[in-house]
Amino acid sequence: MVKINANLPEIRVSTPTYTWKWNAVTDTIWLHDKNQRLIVRAQHKPLIVTSPIQLEFTTVTHEIQADQIRITYHGQNPASSVTVIWSFHPDFISLEPFLLTLPADVDLVQIVYFPKTDGDSYKPSMHSHYAVIPGLSMSTNISPIVDLHSRLNTTAVLGSGAMRGPGLTQQWGLPAHYFCTFNTSDRWNAIGAKAEQSEAACWGLATLPQGDFRLEIREIGISPILNLRTDLWNHKPDTFGFHFLITFGENYHEAIRKYYQVLQREKFISPKTHSPKKLEVLLAPQYNTWGVESALALPPEQLTEDLVRDIFGKYQRSGMRAKTFVIDDKWEGVYGELNHDPERFPNFENLLNDIRAQGYNIGLWAAFLRCQNPAALGLDESHLLQTHEGKPLWLNHQTSRYGIFDMTQPKVQEVLRQRAKDFIRRYKPDLIKFDFGYELPSLDVAAPQDMTYAGERLLQKGLEIIVGAMKEENPDLVIMYYGLSPLLIDYYDLHSPDDLVYCIGDYDLETNRRVFFSSLCGELGMPTYSSSGYDWDSAIDIWFDAIASGSLGSLHCFDGDENGEKPSTRHIAKFNGINSLVRKEARFTTKPVHAKWQGGLRAGFSPSWERIENDKTVLLALRTHQFDGKPIPTHYKNIQSDVMLVIAALDDESIGESSRIGIVSFGDGYCSIKNKYRQAKLIEHHLDGKQNETHLRFRDHLTLNLTQHETLEWIEIIFKKE
């Protein structure tokens, strides 16, 4: 139920989930949680940045229509006004696109939400103690949970194109299309202050805008920014501003989960469904050549067919049972043509057939929208994204120089569709590692011909053309990409936490933090694959953290890593063992266990995980200590153990009801499992194929003494009735 009380100058909106207030005199808004604890406050009037002159909006009026409030700011010029529309629902708020009128001779540069203006300048006025900005940095240098009192001064890009935009270098969490806020009391260190800490609000997009989605962090505040640049491109957007859905949760993880759920419930998006064949590829463990290419510091022209065969052979001899073999960057001759290099790979299709004939899925990396030579495709430079000077945008990477296809042009679309279909027919990949989106230029730099698809819509258009064509040829094709946005769920199937290249020394911690956010994509039917770092030392922890949210992967080099280390028997055995417990569903709920929600070092990590399917706990990955070494309670969900372990049901029942479960342990100790059965057969599975069987009787709890062996992969437990 939504209650709106207008007792001017204040208007108050109350629901069982939140309270929203606006003061017409001070033009301030406040957002409180269900316990009346302040989440955020801000100056309300948006800043409409215009050119060649800056317009001012000086007077304000409002109207209430059912469960909607419209606040209009009128300009000194009668032809200018902006109306902010708030629509209230019992468990979320919809902040609609603006109604904006401008004089015909004025261009729109940016829309800044919640600024505090001072003449021609402004600073962000959206004040809360913490902001949660997924993908803030590609490294562990800056946490995505930002204490705003640190006065971090940067611009985060929450959509596509972050490596070509302002602010920090970002990649892995793109696009995200949301951020969160949560607050402390004014005296956050006082006695009992934690009890006064607010719940969290997630501010997520409902639709993709025709501009760049940015978040400015400055002066203990934040401001969402829509970068439009009609002054450069002479276009009029079809909508002005973002369409935000504001959702709530006891912490930011739950607030994001609610955002995903509301998007589905309100029919903005639909959850993914997968065929049995696609599901098998989606959840299959992967081995990727990129780690070896990196270990050899390989220039593009030195990846050869012989080297790929050598990588594949060493992988096979290792005993690691990955099901999908992925050939990463540098197999192509020229970006844009989607053909292998015939000199370096004279028998490329035979190579793929040989790998496939041995029972493996084939994965191929491709940056589909890069173009080195438009003429080879019957195109010219006008078919690339153009700068505002009317010149094609050229980028450089290693020894390659390329432009970006303008996928809004009909001729380009025709070429890209045909290339994509030919690519699928010729190479028959089961999985595509889609690369590219982070290279999209901001509207400050370049734009497409059809500005309907400018900004955040440009990547979606490319996905619609390329992925649409490929899936017409193979509906079971799996597309893997790093992107947390629910608004692109129609195109992506598998989330990748790549690339950890800037996280030397922190591969395991950074993966944990990335999985902390990407695990929520299980609500949408999109699992996470673990990938890996570039050293063997962090591998087991990475696989442990990924198992509750998806499948396993490896980029490792079997000849040695950056520390000169090679895999041990234990590494291979644990990969195979953890993989034996991978669940067979792509839609699920993952919950952090014993996670920390605050702190620059501790927040956004979870030492343990719970996976839930159909309201049943089907998998637990439990550590005995936090990352700082502090012990964790040893009892959780009817499982008690003094050793780090993964335990999973191997059927559709909860762990306590299952007749067949699996365990992978990571040390010597004990494990006690409450189960409804009274007898059990234990089967130890070893790397060499050896199996040891033991029969046990028990009452209420099955207690196991776990002893590590280098070759032990996992323990299978088959329960029986009396």
Cβ(74)–Cβ(110) under 8 Å?
no
Average pLDDT of span 462-469: 96
pLDDT band at 118 (very low <50, low <70, confident <90, very high): confident
Q: Where are the beta strands (DSSP E) in 198-304?
A: 200-205, 212-218, 221-227, 244-249, 286-288
- What pLDDT is stored for residue 119 in this prediction? 73
Pair 225, 358 in one domain: no
Pick from 541, 466, 460: nearest CA to 500: 541
Domain of 698: which CATH number?
A: 2.60.40
Q: Please report, for the domain that includes residue 335, its CATH number.
A: 3.20.20.80
In a domain, 445, yes or no: no
Mean pLDDT for the stretch of residues 353-364? 98
Q: Confirm whether 564 is domain-assigned.
A: no
For residue 20, what are its two tokens?
Answer: 């929203």
Count Cα atoms within 13 angstroms, Cβ side, for 557.
19
* Helix H or strand E encompassing 621: strand 616-622
pLDDT of residue 193: 84
Pick the range with the lowest mean pLDDT from 44-58, 250-264, 316-330, 434-448. 434-448
At 603-652, the pLDDT tens digits run: 999 999 999 999 999 999 999 999 888 999 888 998 999 999 999 999 99
Please indicate, yes or no, whether residues 173 and 223 belong to a single structural domain of this protein: yes
Per mean pLDDT, which range of 57-71, 376-390, 430-444, 476-490 is the poorest?
430-444
Mean pLDDT of the 81-95 span: 98
pLDDT in tens, 581-609: 999 999 999 999 999 898 888 999 999 99
- Which of 200, 231, 265 is the last residue before a domain boundary? 265
Residue-level pLDDT at 78? 82
Chain segment 395-418, per-residue pLDDT in tens:
987 778 999 999 999 999 999 999
Let me know whether 215 and 287 are in one domain: no
pLDDT at residue 65 greater than cutoff 90: yes
In a domain, 518, yes or no: no
Instruction: List the structure tokens of 376.
Output: 């080879």
Q: Report the pLDDT value the prediction gives residue 599, as an integer from 0 to 100.
A: 86
Residue with structure tokens 């596509």? 160
pLDDT of residue 400: 85
Residues making up the chain, counted from first to last? 722
Q: What are the angstrom distances between the C-alpha of 579 and each of 138, 244, 519, 528, 664?
A: 27, 39, 17, 14, 10
The DSSP 8-state label assigned to residue 295 in this structure reads: H
The verdict on residue 116 lying in a domain is yes
The verdict on residue 424 lying in a domain is yes
Query: In whole angstroms, what separates CA 326 from the centre of its chain?
Result: 21
Q: Using an 8 Å Cβ cutoff, are 60 and 27 in contact?
A: yes
Q: Please identify, among 464, 496, 528, the residue that sits at the C-terminal boundary of a domain.
A: 496
306 and 416 in a single domain? The answer is yes
- Residue where a domain stops, chosen among 459, 474, 496: 496
The pLDDT of residue 439: 85
Whether residue 716 sits in one domain with residue 628: yes
Number of domain units in the chain? 3
Q: Determine the Cα–Cα distance for residues 361 and 288; give it in Å rounded to an integer.
A: 12
Tell me the per-residue pLDDT of 648-691, one tens digit each, with 9 for 90 and over: 999 999 999 999 999 999 999 999 999 888 999 999 999 999 99
pLDDT band at 516 (very low <50, low <70, confident <90, very high): very high
Whether residues 622 and 642 share a domain: the answer is yes
- Residue closest to 385 by CA, chosen among 407, 364, 361, 401: 407
In-domain check, residue 340: yes
**By residue range, what is the domain housing residue 636?**
589-720
* Of the candidates 626, 631, 566, the residue with the CA atom closest to the CA atom of residue 596: 626
Do 598 and 679 lie in a common domain? Answer: yes
Same domain, 178 and 216: yes
For residue range 1-33, what is the model confidence (pLDDT) as tens digits? Answer: 999 999 999 999 999 999 999 999 999 999 999
Q: In this structure, what are the phi and psi dihedrals at residue 5, rounded to the nearest 5 degrees?
A: -120, 115
Looking at the predicted structure, is the pLDDT value of residue 422 above 90?
yes
Amino acid at site 112: V
This prediction has a pTM of 0.96
pLDDT at residue 437, rounded to an integer: 73
Count of H-run helices and E-run strands, the chain:
11, 48
Query: Which residue is associated with the tokens 């939400």?
Result: 113
Rounded to the nearest 10°, the torsion over CA 301, 305, 306, 312 is 120
- Say whether both 41 and 117 belong to one domain: yes
Is the confidence at residue 282, as pLDDT, over 90? Answer: yes
The answer on 284 and 258 residing in a single domain is no
Q: Is residue 553 part of a domain?
A: no
Residue 536 resides in a domain: no
- Cβ contacts of residue 497 below 8 Å, gap of 6+? 172, 482, 511, 514, 515, 518, 528, 529, 530, 531
202 and 303 in a common domain: no
> Residues 327, 221: one domain?
no
pLDDT of residue 397: 78
* Confidence (pLDDT) at 708: 87
Q: What are phi and psi of 702, to 5 degrees?
A: -95, 120
In sequence order, which residues have a C-beta less than 8 Å from that of residue 78 and are 6 or more positions away? none
